[in-house]
Amino acid sequence: MSIPEIAKLGHVSLVTPDLKKSLWFFNDVLGLEITERSQNTVYLRANGEFEHHSLVLKSGDRPYMDHVGWRVKRPEDVEQFEYLLKSSGTEVKKLPKGQESGQGDAISFQMPTGHNFELYFDVEKPLPPEEERSVLKNQTHRSWNRGIAPRRIDHVNLWTSHNPGSAHDWLSTKLGFKMREYVRLNNGHVVGGWMSVTPLVHDIAVMGDPHAATPARLHHVAYWLDNAQDVLRACDILREHRIIPDQGPGKHGISQALFTYVRDPASGHRVELFSNGYLIFDPDWEPVEWKEEELALGLTFWGPTEYVPHRDNHVMDQTTEA
């Protein structure tokens, strides 16, 4: 039996108390394209994405992250991950094809932190309407069709009041993620780790926040822009819509990426607009350690000081039962 593997970050599913306003933000301002919608759910993707969706918006009474979806490399990997997870004591639920629009058979389970994950392989790849279709065969929607118009989803950043080191170990041993960069405090504890299954410097980051109101929180979902100029253009578009960025523009030391953070005005969900950075192709990559006294440089190489989420225990909290 081959070892099952995760191929990439597939999507993030967010719940908002004002679906109409959140849709204005993600569709009109950020420029994600709608692929399907119902009365209470909207599926969106970036203009360079072929898969059915990379973002799900659902209507609810409060804002929280419903789940993170990961696409596996082979159809049989879904069943193999189910077996391995169950064998190690993780409760796994089967999700039939179509329970989430555009998605085939999947499994659902929780990280030890309480964050909800889904794994799947089969996914629909619908063509956009002809009048919005790119003339490029290797792109779905027209460039700059609306708003900021990111190219693709990049990563998700999760926060927990639990020991993040345990979460990193779980992601490594159970799902095959590799540590790329991490922060170790002077007491020896690892408080943040950037991990990936792709050449990206991170597909997921898990950070520790002992003051969090819940053990499972979303800090942000990141969408990729082609270059630094696009990040600056995004800031102009945000201000033209009377939206003030949460932080940035700036440059991270960890990942070396250009960034701007912004919140959906309807829900408080945070989005990172992300570009540049570096890729990892070395099979023997050694994780980069940042010490406690280097943390400020690691988080913000230049630009506004890194935002510390536990200072405003915000609506970004995800309850473990969600």
Residues 159 and 103 in one domain: no
Q: What total number of domains does the chain contain?
A: 2
Burial of 136 (C-beta count, 10 Å sphere; 0-12/13-18/19+): exposed
Residue type, 249: P
Residues 122 and 14 in one domain: yes
- Token output for 241: 């819509």
Residues 182 and 308 in one domain: yes
CATH number where 128 lies = 3.10.180.10
Tokens 């780790």 belong to residue: 193
Residue 66 in domain: yes
pLDDT attached to residue 1: 62
47-57 in b/e burial notation, b at 16+ Cβ within 10 A? bbbebbbbbbb
pLDDT attached to residue 91: 97
Residue 144 in domain: no
What pLDDT tens digit does each residue of the chain (322 aa) get?
689 999 999 999 999 999 999 999 999 999 999 999 999 999 999 999 999 999 999 999 999 999 999 999 999 999 999 999 999 999 999 999 999 999 999 999 999 999 999 999 999 999 999 999 999 999 999 999 999 999 999 999 999 999 999 999 999 999 999 999 999 999 999 999 999 999 999 999 999 988 888 889 999 999 999 999 999 999 999 999 999 999 999 999 999 999 999 999 999 999 999 999 999 999 999 999 999 999 999 999 999 875 444 333 333 344 323 3
Identify any residues that bridge with 160 across adjacent strands, giving them in sequence order.
208
Q: Is the peptide bond before 249 cis (omega within 30 degrees of 0)?
A: yes
Residue type, 120: Y
How far apart, in whole angstroms, are the C-alpha atoms of residue 160 and residue 45?
A: 27
Q: Please state the pTM of the whole predicted model.
A: 0.93
Q: Decide: helix, strand or coil at residue 22.
A: helix
Q: Decide: helix, strand or coil at residue 248.
A: strand
How far apart, in whole angstroms, are the C-alpha atoms of residue 161 and residue 88?
A: 23
Residues 175 and 98 in one domain: no
pLDDT attached to residue 316: 39
Determine which helix (DSSP H) or strand (DSSP E) holds 275, and give its type and residue range: strand 270-276
Residues 111 and 216 in one domain: no
Residue 142 in domain: no
Instruction: Give the contacts of 173 (CB within 8 A, at least 6 positions apart).
Output: none
Pick the last residue of a domain from 132, 163, 192: 132
pLDDT attached to residue 308: 44
How far apart, in whole angstroms, are the C-alpha atoms of residue 84 and residue 91?
A: 11
Residue 294 in domain: yes
Residue 145 in domain: no
pLDDT attached to residue 306: 57
Q: Which domain holds residue 26?
A: 6-132
Residue 143 in domain: no
